Amino acid sequence: MTHTTQPAVELDGKDLPAHCPNPAMPLWSSHPRVFLEFNKDGVAKCPYCGTAYTLKEGASAGHH
């Protein structure tokens, strides 16, 4: 069995706070909405479906 890796969803500051499923997903109601917490490297992973999210260069997940 071959597993394919989905590319990470890249988000900008305007997309925050980020949640999964996101509006661009075809089956957005496939699991309960969960808000994502990004690590210091700007990466987050959905605990339900495993979708990876990254912040675009220059975007910040912290509070202003």
List pLDDT tens digits, range 5-58: 677 999 998 989 999 998 888 765 589 999 999 999 999 999 999 999 999 988
**Within a domain: 64:** no
Q: Residue 36 falls within a domain, yes or no?
A: yes
The answer as to whether 60 is a domain residue is no
pLDDT over 50 (residue 60): yes
Would you state the pLDDT for residue 42? Answer: 94
What is the C-alpha separation between 37 and 40, in angstroms, rounded?
10
Residue 2 located in a structural domain = no
The model carries a pTM of 0.77
Q: Number of structural domains, the chain?
A: 1
Is 35 domain-assigned?
yes
Write out the H or E segment, with its range, that includes residue 55. Answer: strand 52-55
50 occurs within a structural domain: yes
Size of the chain in residues: 64
User: Residue 15: inside a domain, yes or no?
Assistant: yes
* Range of the structural domain that residue 25 is part of: 9-55
Compute the Cα dihedral for 33, 10, 37, 50 and give only its sign: positive
- Cα–Cα nearest to 45, from 35, 31, 58: 35
- Quickly tell me which residue has 């597993």 as its tokens: 3
